[in-house]
Amino acid sequence: MNATEAKQKIETLRQNLEQYSYEYHTLDAPSVSDYEYDKKMQELIKLEEEYPDLQTPDSPSQRVGGKPLDAFVKVQHDIPMLSLGNAFNDEELRDFDRRVKNGTDAEVNYVCELKIDGLAVSLKYEDGIFVRGATRGDGTTGEDITKNLRTIRNIPLRLKEPVTVEVRGEAYMPKKSFMTLNEAKESNGEEPFANPRNAAAGSLRQLDPKIAAKRNLDIFLYGIGVWENDPTEAHSERLEKMKELGLKTNPEWKKCNDIEEVIDYVNSWVEHRADLDYEIDGIVIKVDSLDQQEDLGFTAKSPRWATAYKFPAEEAITKLIDIELSV
């Protein structure tokens, strides 16, 4: 491919990805699979690396999420809510480990967590009282969805200690609630939701909280935005502390001493993900030490101290099995 062809290809990929991102993040109605989106994004990133002159800050490869809807009151995040870098196989996980070790000198421990497929939200507590909930939006500006989040029973309205903290997590729709909802939609002649992720996002981004209240949504909290007098030194301590405060964290997380242990954890979930009663689309791997996280810092779009291993899409697995069977 020459430079002119590369420029045209980059342009087409950017237009496609912008459209898909708008449908997915703003309308909660994707027209292509995540697998297809991720493949196009990888192609764009590779071309932009090959032709650095063609890189631009407004490329979808540099941007987080989607534009907040005007119907909602806007919320400025004190610390941006970013995306995550991706790894699609064991070798890319080892590359991530090499990059981490280049950016920090001491020994590195990781925390692995399930990557819940829902909507990223921020919950703000003042002196232990839940005061505001927001979507990630474009990373800097989200939508105020406090009233909808109050309908989720597992979000405590008061923490067990009077702390001022902004926690982050994933609101999701359990598989069972999703099936019941889509059955009801179909019998009413309405368009069903594409998947539990879009159903959760579509339910929380409604102006009438009665809708969210009927949808049996749930939440897992997995991180901290801002914490006044933060008593912790490691991400694993934060997960423990959040639980003590009464926040619902996912119990399947694991501390790993090296990347091979991470890879074993990832592979065990490739097999067992279907047993869960909620959907996950991968595993998130985070450097445990907060000092090391600070050393590593962020790119414009994601932290350098974390990555998301993305599971192969179900249709890709089926294709692989078909190929293997036909050989």
Beta bridge partners of 141: 76
Q: In this chain, which of 44, 84, 221, 287 binds ligand NAD, going by CB under 6 A?
A: 84
Q: Report the C-alpha gap between 243 and 122 in whole angstroms.
A: 16
CB of 21 to ligand NAD, least distance (A): 5
- At position 139, the amino acid (one-letter code) is G
Q: Does 30 bind ligand NAD (CB under 6 A)?
A: yes
Residue list for the binding site for NAD(+): 34-38, 83-84, 113, 136, 170, 286, 310
Q: In this chain, which of 38, 92, 95, 252 binds ligand NAD, going by CB under 6 A?
A: 38
CB of 216 to ligand NAD, least distance (A): 19
CA distances from 121 to 107, 129, 178, 267, 273 (A): 32, 17, 19, 28, 23
Count the site residues for ligand NAD by CB under 6 A.
Answer: 25
- Residue of this chain nearest to ligand NAD (CB atom): 120
- At position 79, the amino acid (one-letter code) is I
CB of 54 to ligand NAD, least distance (A): 22
Q: Is 115 a catalytic residue?
A: yes
Region of residue 65 (phi > 0: left; psi between -120 and 50: alpha; otherwise: beta) = left
**Is residue 316 within 8 Å of 35, Cβ to Cβ?**
yes
List, in order, residues 6 or more apart from 32 with CB less than 8 Å away.
20
Q: Does 34 bind ligand NAD (CB under 6 A)?
A: yes
DSSP of 123-140: EEEETTEEEEEEE-TTSS
Stretch that binds ligand NAD, among 82-90, 183-191, 225-233, 318-326 (CB under 6 A): 82-90
Q: In this chain, which of 259, 284, 285, 296 binds ligand NAD, going by CB under 6 A?
A: 284
Q: In this chain, which of 120, 134, 145, 263 binds ligand NAD, going by CB under 6 A?
A: 120
Nearest to 224 by CA among 25, 78, 115: 78
CB of 38 to ligand NAD, least distance (A): 5
Catalytic entry in 9, 74, 101, 115: 115
Q: Report the C-alpha gap between 148 and 152 in whole angstroms.
A: 8
Catalytic machinery residues: 115
